[in-house]
Structure formats: structure tokens, C-alpha cells
Chain A
């Protein structure tokens, strides 16, 4: 089983819709969770971080964490064509030397 799993996509949503990106992780001691956005040919850019169970909102983005189910998700409201990118889920273990383990990413396409 992979440590961090994401559906590779592509996930296609119409402009203005809600995009829902999901991530599961295998290690129960994982403590910090991050969503990065990566445009083609560019570097990963931090979108959201979440550490506690529940929802965290920042503008059009909402991260959701459920540690019991080992599941973290990212919702993008009012999706825009500029949101089209690959979204990487990253998980940090406690005491792991701040090592981040990344999923393979989900490609999101927002269509006009």
C-alpha cells in the first residue's frame, strides 16, 4: 500500500463548480497535512495546511481532515480555469525529521 494515495485524474469540472480532491494516507501517526498546487513546468506552491480534525477554510479553498479515517481532502469552490493544475497531497510524520511524503498528485481541469 502506498503511503499517500491520490487519484491521478484527470478530474474535469465545469467553471464555477466545486472541485473535490481526495487523499488517503497509511500512517496513523501522521500529524501535518499539506496541499500543494503545481502548474506544468513549475514548482509546487503551498495552498493549504491542516493539522486538526475538521475543516479549514481559506478563500475559495477548504481543507478537510479526518484522522480516524486517515483521509484529507481539498475543496475548491467556484472553480476557475486558472485552478487547472496538479494538486499534490503531502503528509508529515511526527518525529520524521520534517520529512514530507507526497502523493502522486491529481490533475484538475476546469473547463469553460
Chain B
């Protein structure tokens, strides 16, 4: 199936831990994104990579570090997790040129205890 897939689907962990979320797309897109959706359902961009290069870096704490080993993968590593990090994190991908929509993965629900 052509899709944006991210793992894990659920992540429950203690405050202060370090965790990673992985994302892969097989749509042939050149741009990938991480979004955070908070408890009020507001969806906000965090990062965007185009062909492995960071092109969008919104006001996000340094504890969040994206890594793109190739244009089909964009992982998100989070250090020293805090309660406020609890949210659903969505990966998305698109083509950079033209009016191309973004396609979303199923999301990772992160819960900090």
C-alpha cells in the first residue's frame, strides 16, 4: 500500500525519558513534515524537511530533534519528555512544487505519565 506510515501508534512513557517516533513514506514525495495536535485538536507544524534538508523549524523546544536519513524517512527524537509533550504527533509528506496537498500518517499518541 502506498502510504505514510509511522511507528509506534501509541507511546506511553515516564517524564524525563527519551523517545523516538519513526516515519516513512513510499509516495515518492520530496518533502516530509512533523505536526503536533494538542488536546484541543489544534494541528501545528513543527518541522519540515525537503530532500533531507531542514526547511521549516517552528518555535519548538531544543528537546525535539528531527532526523532525515533520506527523503523517504523523517524521524523525531524527543529528549527529557515533559507532561506538556502529551499529544498526537502526525507525520505528513508532499511534493514541494506546485499546489500539492499533504498526506498524513495515522499519528502517534504520546502520553507522558
Chain A positions near chain B (C-beta within 8 angstroms) = 31-32, 34, 36, 38, 42-46, 49, 51, 86, 88, 92, 97-102, 104-105
Determine if B55 and A97 form an interchain contact, defined as CB atoms under 8 angstroms apart.
yes
Total inter-chain residue pairs, C-beta < 8 Å: 52
- Give the 5 A-B CB pairs with smallest separation, nearest first: A43-B104, A32-B99, A97-B55, A102-B43, A97-B56
Q: Give chain B interface residues in 71-113, CB to chain A under 8 Å.
A: 90, 94, 96, 99-107
In the complex, the chain A residue whose C-beta lies closest to that of B98 is A32
B68 at the interface (CB under 8 A from A): no
Determine if B105 and A43 form an interchain contact, defined as CB atoms under 8 angstroms apart.
yes
CA distance A99 to B31 in the complex (A): 10
Determine if B41 and A49 form an interchain contact, defined as CB atoms under 8 angstroms apart.
no
B25 at the interface (CB under 8 A from A): no
CA distance A86 to B37 in the complex (A): 13
Name A86's contact: one of B31, B41, B94 (CB within 8 Å). B41
* Interface 1/0 per residue, B23-45 and A, CB below 8 Å: 00000000100000000111111
Determine if A102 and B106 form an interchain contact, defined as CB atoms under 8 angstroms apart.
no
Interface residues of chain A: helix, strand, loop or mixed (majority): strand
Centre residue among A31, A97, A101, A105 by max chain B CB count within 10 A: A97
Residues of chain B with a CB closer than 8 A to A97's CB = 48, 50, 55-56, 96
Name B101's contact: one of A31, A46, A86, A102 (CB within 8 Å). A46
A sample of 24 inter-chain contacts (CB < 8 A) reads A34-B102, A36-B104, A42-B106, A43-B106, A43-B107, A44-B43, A46-B103, A49-B101, A51-B99, A86-B41, A88-B43, A92-B99, A97-B48, A97-B56, A98-B31, A98-B48, A98-B50, A98-B96, A98-B100, A99-B48, A99-B56, A101-B45, A104-B40, A104-B42
